[in-house]
């Protein structure tokens, strides 16, 4: 069926007066912008599917490994202990989105968002293939066939989506084994498949209008110079059908270029009327631009009645390249990226932390010596399993001859991307401590010669060495 006309009074463009959902069946408008979007969409579809299979530095190009609590992106690995790095990365992404929106509006929503890409370039074309452009004459068999293909496609998308969170290898194990051998994994795949099916077959544009917060933020992120899809009110109004005045009647009033055909409304995937001005529901998909350009060609008017523009341009104001948002956002982004790069460069393949043992800070033994208990935490940030040897050094980096250093498990094996904890004991005579404190270093050395050191202060009785 075609999209029913929108009621004059409505809260959302997808609601009827009585609050029921107004189901949308947008008309496909071909044109130069749709052709460009198709190229971008097909490239993105290939990228979304292949990224989990591409490896850089022995790790997937992008993987948020929930089981191992690691995040791999572009060859870099982030662990739960990388709080600062993850915070800086998140801030950089947020500021980048702010800058992108200030410059190009909601180009992400209409051109690159997976919701739009899959819905408009995968699911809707399949729907038109089975049910035709209007869907009015589709038989029950065709509708069932469409739903069956949707289900298969949703299952494929569910596996692709989960590959970003569990890894391709683990996902292949789930696929090859019986569901009874891994019921949790099977339920996860089934649940995500149902969610995908519900989203793309039923919820659709509601995800953009109701669930996604990005659209609601655009009123804050956009300014009067931001790129939007806009209707040239001054050129198009007053709108109306072109009719020749009959003999004896007054000449028809001068009309604008808009012939009020309504195609820009019928082609909109979110059901809005772009002629009402900038709206939260507009995702910059440019379907209304292609539709209007086609009509303008037919009536012999110049294209661009609906076009990429800005609110200031529509109001006849000059374009400003430099404005506060365009200056502040890049400055913040440069600082954050710089801090992120510096913090990342300081991260080696070993992350070493030395903590005091639980209980008393030191223990006086019967033979008059003093014992300190330490907890040594080693994070293996490399891509290979390692065995780390642990040694006690003086503050000057030289070996200590008057202290006994015991680590029950030395060297300590630590798997790639994992953390190992070793207990250590330092026993030394009272004279070892000067004023109750002795500065030392803990050295950890991997099999590949990678070394990390951490400074530490051993505690002893204040009446120690003079």
Question: What confidence tier does 252 reach under pLDDT thresholds 50, 70, 90?
Answer: low
Q: For residue 377, give the nearest of 433, 337, 423 by alpha carbon.
A: 423
Supply the pTM of this predicted model. Answer: 0.83
Residues forming a β-bridge with 441: 393, 455
Q: Could you tell me how far CA 377 lies from the centroid of its own chain?
A: 32
Q: Which of 34, 2, 26, 30 minimizes the C-alpha distance to 265?
A: 26
Encode burial over 272-284: b for 16+ CB neighbours within 10 A, e otherwise: bebbeebebbbbb
pLDDT of residue 21 exceeding 80, the answer is yes
Least trusted range by pLDDT, from 53-57, 130-134, 264-268, 290-294: 130-134
The residues, any chain, with a CB within 8 Å of residue 320's CB and separated by 6 or more, are: 225, 312
Question: What's the pLDDT score for residue 70?
Answer: 86
Task: Describe the chain by its helix, strand, coil percentages, rounded to 5.
Answer: 40, 20, 40
Q: Does residue 452 surpass a pLDDT of 80?
A: yes
pLDDT of residue 466: 46
Q: Give the pLDDT of residue 320.
A: 85
- Does 45 or 13 have the greater pLDDT score? 45
Domains observed in the chain? 32-81+113-220 (no CATH), 223-314 (no CATH), 350-459 (2.60.40.10)
Lowest mean pLDDT among 335-344, 376-385, 435-444: 376-385
d(Cα 76, Cα 81) in Å, to the nearest integer? 14
| Per-residue model confidence as pLDDT tens digits over 228-251 | 999 999 999 999 887 654 555 554
- Say if CB 426 and CB 439 are below 8 A apart: no
pLDDT at 313 over 90: yes
- The residue behind tokens 């710089």 is 338
Closest CA to 368 of 435, 466, 464: 464
Band (pLDDT 50/70/90 cuts) for residue 9 is low
pLDDT for position 401: 81
Cβ count near 132 (within 10 Å): 12
What length does the chain have? 466
Q: H or E stretch including 327?
A: helix 324-345
Average pLDDT of the residues in 283-308: 96
Whether the CB-CB separation of 403 and 427 falls below 8 Å is answered with yes
What's the pLDDT at 249? 54
**What's the pLDDT score for residue 155?**
96
With tokens 């293996």, the residue in question is: 380
For 318-350, the pLDDT digits (tens) are 988 888 889 999 999 999 999 999 988 888 788
Q: What is the mean pLDDT of the chain?
A: 89
Task: Read off the pLDDT band of 137 (50, 70, 90).
Answer: low
Q: What is the pLDDT of residue 246?
A: 56
Statement: residue 218 has pLDDT above 90: no
pLDDT tops 70 at residue 286: yes
pLDDT score of 420: 92
3-state secondary structure of 139: coil
């Amino acid at each position: 069926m075609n999209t029913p006309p929108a009621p004059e009074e409505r809260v959302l463009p997808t609601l009827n007066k009585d609050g029921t959902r107004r189901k949308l069946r947008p008309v496909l408008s071909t044109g130069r912008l749709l052709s460009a979007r198709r190229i971008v969409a097909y490239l993105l579809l290939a990228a979304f599917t292949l990224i989990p299979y591409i490896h850089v530095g022995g790790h997937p190009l992008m993987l948020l490994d929930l089981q191992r609590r690691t995040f791999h992106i572009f060859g870099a690995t982030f662990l739960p202990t990388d709080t600062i790095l993850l915070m800086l990365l998140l801030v950089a992404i947020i500021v980048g989105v702010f800058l992108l929106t200030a410059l190009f509006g909601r180009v992400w929503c209409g051109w690159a968002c997976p919701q739009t890409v899959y819905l408009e370039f995968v699911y809707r074309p399949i729907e038109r293939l089975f049910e035709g452009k209007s869907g009015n004459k589709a038989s029950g068999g065709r509708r069932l066939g469409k739903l069956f293909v949707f289900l298969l496609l949703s299952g494929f998308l569910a596996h692709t989506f989960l590959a970003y969170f569990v890894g391709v290898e683990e996902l292949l194990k789930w696929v090859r084994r019986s569901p009874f051998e891994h019921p949790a994994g099977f339920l996860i795949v089934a649940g995500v498949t149902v969610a995908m099916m519900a989203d793309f077959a039923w919820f659709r544009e509601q995800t953009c209008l109701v669930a996604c917060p990005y659209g609601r933020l655009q009123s804050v992120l956009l300014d009067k110079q931001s790129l939007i899809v806009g209707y040239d009110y001054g050129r198009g109004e007053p709108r109306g059908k072109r009719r020749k005045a009959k003999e004896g009647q007054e000449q028809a009033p001068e009309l604008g270029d808009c012939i009020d055909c309504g195609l820009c409304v019928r082609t909109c995937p979110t059901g809005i009327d772009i002629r009402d001005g900038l709206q939260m529901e507009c995702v910059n998909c440019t379907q209304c631009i292609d539709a209007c350009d086609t009509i303008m060609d037919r009536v012999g008017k110049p294209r661009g009645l609906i076009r990429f523009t800005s609110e200031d341009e529509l109001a006849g104001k000059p374009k400003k390249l430099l404005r506060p948002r365009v200056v502040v956002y890049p400055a913040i982004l440069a600082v954050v990226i710089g801090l992120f790069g510096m913090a990342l460069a300081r991260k080696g393949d070993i992350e070493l932390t030395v903590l005091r043992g639980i209980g008393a800070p030191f223990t006086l033994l019967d033979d008059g010596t003093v014992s300190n208990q330490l907890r040594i935490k080693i994070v293996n940030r490399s891509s290979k399993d390692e065995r780390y040897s642990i040694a006690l050094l003086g503050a000057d980096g030289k070996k200590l001859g008057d202290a006994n250093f015991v680590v029950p498990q030395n060297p300590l094996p630590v798997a790639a991307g994992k953390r190992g904890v070793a207990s250590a004991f330092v026993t030394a005579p009272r004279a070892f401590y000067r004023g109750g404190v002795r500065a030392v270093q803990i050295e950890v050395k991997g099999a590949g010669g990678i070394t990390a050191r951490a400074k530490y202060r051993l505690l002893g009785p204040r009446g120690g060495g003079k």
